[in-house]
A and B are shown apart, each in its own frame.
Chain A
Amino acid sequence: MSEDNYVFVIPCSGIGKSLGSVGRKAAYKVVEQLRPQHARITCLALLTVGDEETLKKVREHPCITIDGCPSKCAQKNVEVSNGRLVKSLMVTETLRNHKALKPEGIIKLNVEGCQLANLIAQEAAKEVDEAMGLGN
C-alpha cells in the first residue's frame, strides 16, 4: 500500500450494540481482505480526543464512515474534525433491505450479523474504489 495514497474506513466504536459490531467487522473486512492496498482503519476515539496526528490524516485522506445506529458517531466525529468525509454508510440501512440478517451478539456476532457485515464491506469497498479513482 502506498504510504500516501489511501482511504480511511472508520467504523463507530459500537460498544453497546450488535449493530456496532457489524460495522466494525465490515471495516476490518475491507482493510484486511477486500482492499488492503487502498484502505486503512483508525481509532475513532483518537478523533474524539482531538489527537493532532489523526486529525491531520483524516483531513488529508478520504474517509468512509460506517455507523451502527442513528447516533452516527463515526460520521459526526469525522465532520467535527473537518475530515474529508466522502461517504457515510449506515448498518441499519443495509439491514432494512436484508431483514432476515438480524445481528445478535457483541462479543461474538452471530452468522447473520457476519453476513450483514460482508454486505456492508462490499458496499464500502466500492466506495474505496470510487474515492481512489478506481471505479469503472
Chain B
Amino acid sequence: MAVFKERVGIVSCSGEEIPEGTISRIATRLVLEKLRPDETITICLPLFLAGGEGERTFARLFNTITVDGCEKRCAEMGTKKYSGKPYATVTVTDILKEFPDFCLESRDELSPEECKFAEKVAEEIAKKVDEALDRGKTQIRSGES
C-alpha cells in the first residue's frame, strides 16, 4: 500500500493580461521557493488541456490550492474541470479589497510595493498549505481516486 510523500499542489492562473495575474504567479513561486519549498509542488495550468491523463491526475494525487488573479477564477475552474476539486482557493482581487488605496499596475516587473503585496498573498497561500498538511489529507493510497 503505497503512500505518497505529503505535498500540496499549487495551481496558479497564468494571468498574463492583468497585474493581478502576475501577483498570482509571483506569490505562488514565493511559496514554492521560499516559504514552503519542501511541502509544495506545482503544475502549469494550461498543461491540463495540452497534456495528457498523467497531468490531469494532479489534483487527485495532491491536495491542491488554486491561486487566481481575478474573479474569472481560471485556476479554480480549470482544476475542477480537468483534474479534481481544489482543497482551497485564493483570489488576489479578494485580498486586494483589504487594501482599498493600493493599486496594482505592473504586469512584468513588480514595484517594491507590489512585491510586498505578492509576499502577503504568498503568506495567505502558505497558511492554507499548513492547513492542508495539518489535516493530513495529502496521504493517499495507490488506486484511490
In the bound complex, do residue B16 and residue A80 qualify as a contact, i.e. CB atoms below 8 Å apart? no
B19 smallest CB distance to A (angstroms): 12
- Say yes or no: A42-B29 contact (C-beta < 8 A), given A25-B108, A49-B77, A71-B50: no
A→B interface (CB under 8 Å)? 10-16, 20, 24-25, 27-28, 32, 41-49, 51, 71-74, 76-77, 80, 106-107
B→A interface (CB under 8 Å)? 12-18, 21, 25-26, 28-30, 33, 42-51, 72, 74-75, 77-78, 81, 107-108
A3 smallest CB distance to B (angstroms): 16
B104 smallest CB distance to A (angstroms): 15
How many angstroms between the C-alpha atoms of A44 and B50 in the bound complex?
A: 11
In the bound complex, do residue B108 and residue A32 qualify as a contact, i.e. CB atoms below 8 Å apart? yes
**Closest B-chain residue to A28, C-beta based?**
B108
How many angstroms between the C-alpha atoms of A12 and B33 in the bound complex?
A: 20
Task: Provide the residues of chain B in CB contact with A80, threshold 8 Å.
Answer: 49-50
**Closest A-chain residue to B118, C-beta based?**
A107
